[in-house]
Amino acid sequence: MKIPRASAVVSTVFGIGYFPQAQGTIMSAIALPFAVLLSTKGGGIVVAGAAIIVLVIGILSCSEHVRETGNPDPSECVIDELAGQWIACAFVAFPPFQLAPFFLAFALFRLFDIWKPWPVYLAETKLHSGLAVMMDDVVAGLMAGGLSFVVHYLGWL
């Protein structure tokens, strides 16, 4: 039995990235309730802090995974979705806690991550290795979070 590399375990978030379809959406859906839970422990600052920790770990593990596989953007790397989803959720993780803004952050993050509008596309194409894998989702998370915040703050949701 072959023991998986640590970078593969971390980058795929314990194998979630090896699901046959919709790995990114599955990871984002799993990340969502954890973002809600983290927000109840300290609001958006705790969610953002957790996202930054995951971002740093993700850059390191994805860089190693890219080097090991030779694939510049392996679809099995889903730690980027975890970081990006938590970044998006950090923008709406403030009292009084409501679930609708979290779901909006989820939907917008997935839209921007799949569609890859500028500047998400720019982050994906101009950067390399683990940084490229992670940063397009960070940018998508910032865009989704900012838009979700505005919608929630204005009372539209």
Nearby residues of 108 by Cβ (< 8 Å), 6 or more positions away: 88, 143, 144, 147, 148
pLDDT on residue 1: 76
C-beta contacts of 48-52 below 8 A and 24+ residues apart = 48/86, 48/87, 48/90, 50/86, 51/83, 51/84, 51/86, 51/87, 51/90, 51/141
Contact 44, 93 (CB under 8 A): yes
Tally the domains of the chain: 1
pLDDT for residue 148: 98
- pLDDT confidence of residue 19: 96
Q: Which two tokens stand for residue 42?
A: 């300290």
Domain assignment of residue 1, yes or no: no
Task: Examine residue 136 and state whether it is found in any structural domain, yes or no.
Answer: yes
The tens-digit pLDDT sequence of the chain (157 residues) is 777 789 999 999 999 999 999 999 999 999 999 999 999 999 999 999 999 999 999 999 999 999 999 999 899 999 999 999 999 999 999 888 899 999 999 999 999 999 999 999 999 899 999 999 999 999 999 999 999 999 999 988 7
Q: What is the pLDDT of residue 60?
A: 97
| Residue 56 resides in a domain | yes
Q: What is the pLDDT of residue 10?
A: 97
Report pLDDT for 26. 98
Cβ neighbours, 10 Å, residue 33 = 11
What is the domain range of residue 103? Answer: 6-153
